[in-house]
A and B are shown apart, each in its own frame.
Chain A
Amino acid sequence: MTIRPATVALVLFFAATLAFFSVSAPRFATATNYENLMAGFSFVAILAMGQAFPILVRGIDLSIGAIVGLVGMVVFDLTLIFHVPGYVILPVALVVGMLAGALNGVLVVVLRLQPFIATLATLAAYRGLTYTISGRQLVPGLSTTPITDRWIVGIENYFDVGGWLGVNKLLAMPWFPLSFFIMLALFALFQTLVLATRFGRDLYAVGGNYEAARLAGINTGRVIITAYALSGLCAAIAALIMVARFTTATEALGTGSELTAIAAAVIGGVSLAGGIGSMFGPALGAFLLGAVLLGLTLQGVPQFVQQIITGAILLAAVGYDRLLVVRRQRRLAANLAQAG
């Protein structure tokens, strides 16, 4: 595995961003701020890694925000209405997310719908389903009851890593949220999956050249459905993290998060043309967005300006990606000319 120049650029840019805000924004280089960054953007990183799977096979998943809402409401109902124990709810939530994602894949593969349209339709459908099963409306009075199941709210937990390592006296370390470790574990799992397994090879093959992959005997349908199922799984995990933080779920949970996830994935160098990218980029892309937003907030920049800057970063990221592609093509053309 060679490290792509885009990845190096992303890491450098991330470091530069941290350095810039550490100097210019008050209280940016503090333990509390890094704790906020990890607590507030680990689930965004998880969503972005999930989103990378469909994008790697030249698709897109617009429905993840709706899946977050759906899974959140399933958790809400199971724990507050049916009093199901949390250790049962957790696997159920993951399965619901995976099934919702797999259905997207089925629509794309079996009904041959464009991914953009298929997941646009399920975005509406899953959000509607969330309202239908909403325990907030089915059982009046439940909307103000917090979720207390320790298996679920236990996800919102912080670890004093600095204390364990004994470096607290030298350096104020942030307390690490559990969601950050979940993100790290998923990253390790997914990175291994895409880089070192047969499924990963098939994923790049299908995304790089669908027809060639099909002719090479790869079960393209299964690869694509799995990619969407993994995206749904990540949405479910993100939903659990959010429900644990808010100790409740609303019908609107996760609205719009698909756009943030797509932005983070693209900033992380996952090409919309398919077949290019890994899991490191999307995860770091999410934290880059987070660092910029937190830094600007601490600098006192109004939230509205932050939206403009987020858009500008997104444009710069795709622009840079395009620049690399053009350069690669030129080099290829030059090599061919020499060889000829």
Chain B
Amino acid sequence: MSTINGTRSPQIAQRVAANALPLAMAAIVVVFAIAQPAFLTPDNLIGIVRQVALIGIMATCMTFVIMTGGVDLSVGPVLAIAGLVSFYCLQADLPLAVVILAGLAVGVLIGTFNGLVIAFLQLPPIIVTLATLSIVRGSALILGGPEQHLIRNEPAYSFIGAGSLFGLPFSIYIFALVAAVMIFVQRRTPLGLLVTAIGDNERAAHLSGHRTRITKTLVYAISGFGAALAGIIQSSQVHTALATYGPFGTELDVIAAVVLGGTSIMGGNGSVARTLLGVFFLGIVNNGMNILNVPIDIQLIAKGAIIVIALAIAARRS
């Protein structure tokens, strides 16, 4: 009996901590809506979703990595190189499907490399992905040089990031699809269970006969896929491919969204759905502060303070 109580009470505490974020989000929406009625207009709300789509795709795809106790710092350069590869495929007049697949394949390959090195050589993820950050950025610069590559007269490709369907930007549909698939994978497939198991206790999962190494490799491949998809959308949105896209700090924004959603950086506890909450929380705060003309410096300080407060509450209650 005591063991049941012992396991149940932290779960309740975690539920409270998990609900702190939606509550805070609601409070912030009310504050922004009163301070600036323009905040609640449909256009602005759609704008928020569009703005967070790139970070959102990367964050939902990186949630598994963080749930296994890892981290992926290499998403920024992967975003850039995927855009460049797609650009060169467009230049070569390849069909659209090939263009997109090529861009995505680069991300998956880099992610798989990260995963193989981390899972099979058991090197620390932060250092491995820091190294690939450097390697991929260098490769992107060799491939594309420092100049901008304009993507002109490619209506089909431009539709991915800049087109709209039924009155909503197309990139929002992609974001929604990725989020739905990732939530499904986490809740309804063995992979989702295994990710949680590895985060809780990798050794135990390994000893129970699970393929922990393959799973970890796959998880980094998914993160690379997300970054590449974001890169394709971005290059299509701004009609430009550039080797320095996804600048230093992109990966930190993505990680911040994931951990704000309540995924522990030590692994185990976490969920893709809650990552979405973190993404929207950061997006709403950014958008609201922009609307209220809060200067960039205060925005940075506020972002830091929000992360600290949110996680301190979570740490206290669990």
Q: Which residues of A contact B (CB under 8 A)?
A: 60, 62, 107, 111-114, 116-118, 120-132, 134, 255-256, 259, 262-263, 266, 272-273, 302-312, 314-315, 318-319, 322
Contacts and interface: CB of A to CB of B under 8 A. Distances in A.
28 contacts: A62-B252, A107-B312, A111-B312, A111-B315, A113-B315, A114-B259, A116-B71, A116-B265, A121-B307, A125-B303, A126-B304, A128-B296, A128-B304, A132-B297, A132-B298, A255-B248, A256-B248, A259-B133, A262-B126, A263-B127, A263-B130, A304-B139, A304-B142, A307-B135, A311-B131, A311-B134, A315-B123, A318-B128
B307 A312 contact: no
| Most A Cβ at <10 Å: residue of B297, B298, B303 | B297
A124 B259 contact: no
B139 A308 contact: yes
B297 A314 contact: no
B17 to A, nearest CB: 13
B132 interface: yes
B142 A302 contact: yes
A114 B304 contact: no
A43 to B, nearest CB: 19
B10 interface: no
B208 to A, nearest CB: 22
Nearest to A310: B134
B127 A318 contact: yes
B29 interface: no
B297 A121 contact: no
What bracket does the count of chain B residues touching chain A fall in? 35 or more
A125 B304 contact: yes
A132 B301 contact: yes
A126 B308 CA distance: 13
Contacts of A266: 127
B130 A120 contact: no
Summarize B's interface: helix, strand, loop or mixed. helix
Nearest to B264: A114
B305 to A, nearest CB: 6
A302 B145 CA distance: 11
B76 to A, nearest CB: 11
Contacts of A314: 127, 130-131, 134
B276 to A, nearest CB: 19
Nearest to A118: B308
Interface in B259-286: 259, 264-266
A129 B138 CA distance: 31
B300 A311 contact: no
| Most B Cβ at <10 Å: residue of A122, A129, A311, A312 | A311
A123 B126 contact: no
B124 interface: yes
Given A118-B308, A302-B142, A318 B301 contact: no
Given A312-B135, A318-B128, 10 more contacts: A107-B308, A114-B311, A123-B304, A126-B304, A132-B301, A302-B142, A306-B138, A311-B131, A311-B134, A319-B123
Contacts of A259: 130, 133, 248
A119 B215 CA distance: 29
| Most A Cβ at <10 Å: residue of B134, B142, B248, B302 | B134
A263 B133 CA distance: 12
Given A308-B138, A311-B135, A318-B128, A127 B300 contact: yes
A315 B248 contact: no
